[in-house]
Amino acid sequence: MNASDVRGAARKVRDNPATGFLARLGYAASGVLHILLGIIAARIAWFRTGGSADQSGAFATLRNEPLGAVALAVLTLGFAGLAVWQVSTAVGAARGAGDRLKAAGKAVVYGALTWTGARFLLGRPSSSRGQSEDFTAKLMAEPGGRIAVGAVGVVVLVIALFHVYKGWSGRFRRDLARDPGRFVTAAGHVGYVAKGVALGVLGALFVTAATQDRPTRAGGLDAALRTLGQQPFGSVLLTVVAVGLVAYGVYCFGRARSTDT
């Protein structure tokens, strides 16, 4: 099988109606995840409770609800479908190296969410913060590890800035096949900027971990949001980000409905 055959097979997978349905389910699952993250962040801001403000915390919150295992299974299936769709896009449909790299990166993200969801379903939950710290510690133990961790932080900061730009400029509308309406569009503006802020703090923590040689500084999204909450007027800042995360979740639902995947 040559490269052309591989691309053709990938396009067939991508264009399959079942794959498209699962991809839309994945976008809806992302909406649920971000809304849960926003709720947890708001609880931390005002009540100093709410569990871990990251993917693991959101999965744990959902798992403990009535019919939570069923809901978690549906979300995990959606993330798996979206990961497959992104892989098939990267291999068979993306135009240019930049688009292929972007699709491949998203496939990794959704694949990781699938893995995390599956572990919760099997009764073997994991901690996103612990995984981030372990990854950072192992990387920093290697030759040139601190430089690598710092580079990860810089990459995350660049992604954060792009999210802010995408939300502020409305560029996210290019991802949609049709107009989602004013409400979803407004949610996209707010949601992308807020997610960019959260990612910016996360990137800064990786850079700090590298410069101070302290892996525990890179604690993942939960550490980033809690760091934001510890700043002057932190409760207000964290509340704004929490509202933004919920808005991003609303946008994800709109994307599930307003995209041809």
Write out pLDDT tens, residues 185-244.
999 999 999 999 999 988 888 888 788 767 666 667 777 888 888 888 788 889 999 999
8: confidence class by pLDDT, cuts 50, 70, 90 = confident
pLDDT at 157: 93
Q: What is d(CA 74, CA 120) in angstroms, rounded to the nearest whole number?
A: 13
Please compute the mean of the pLDDT values over residues 103-117 and round it to a whole number. 90
| Residues 58-92: tens digit of each pLDDT | 888 888 887 888 999 999 999 999 999 998 888 87
| pLDDT at residue 97 greater than cutoff 80 | no
pLDDT at 114: 93
| pLDDT at residue 17 greater than cutoff 80 | yes
Q: Which helix (H) or strand (E) holds 196?
A: helix 182-212
More confident residue, 250 or 11: 250
pLDDT at 217: 63
Please compute the mean of the pLDDT values over residues 11-27 and round it to a whole number. 86
The DSSP result for 91-159, as a single string, is III--HHHHHHHHHHHHHHHHHHHHHHHHHHTT----HHHHHHHHHHHHHTSTTHHHHHHHHHHHHHHH
| Residues 32-63: tens digit of each pLDDT | 999 999 998 898 888 777 667 778 888 888 88
Question: What contacts 191, CB < 8 A, 6 or more positions away?
Answer: 34, 167, 244, 245, 246, 247, 248, 249, 250, 251
Cα–Cα nearest to 59, from 107, 110, 114: 114
Question: What contacts 115, CB < 8 A, 6 or more positions away?
Answer: none
Cα–Cα nearest to 107, from 96, 119, 115, 97: 115
Tokens representing 237?
Answer: 């800042």
- Are the C-beta atoms of 256 and 25 separated by less than 8 Å? yes
Tokens representing 163?
Answer: 């999210």
Task: State percent of the chain over pLDDT 90.
Answer: 33
| pLDDT at residue 130 greater than cutoff 80 | no
pLDDT at 218: 62
pLDDT at 216: 62
Please compute the mean of the pLDDT values over residues 14-37 and round it to a whole number. 90
Question: What contacts 28, CB < 8 A, 6 or more positions away?
Answer: 78, 252, 253, 256
Tokens representing 78?
Answer: 């959606």
Task: Please compute, for residue 164, the number of CA atoms within 13 A of its CA located in the half-sphere on the CB side.
Answer: 13
Q: How high is the mean pLDDT of the chain?
A: 84
- DSSP, collapsed to helix, strand or coil, labels residue 232 as coil
| pLDDT at residue 260 greater than cutoff 70 | no
Please compute the mean of the pLDDT values over residues 108-134 and round it to a whole number. 80
| pLDDT at residue 172 greater than cutoff 80 | yes
Please compute the mean of the pLDDT values over residues 157-185 and round it to a whole number. 90
19: confidence class by pLDDT, cuts 50, 70, 90 = confident
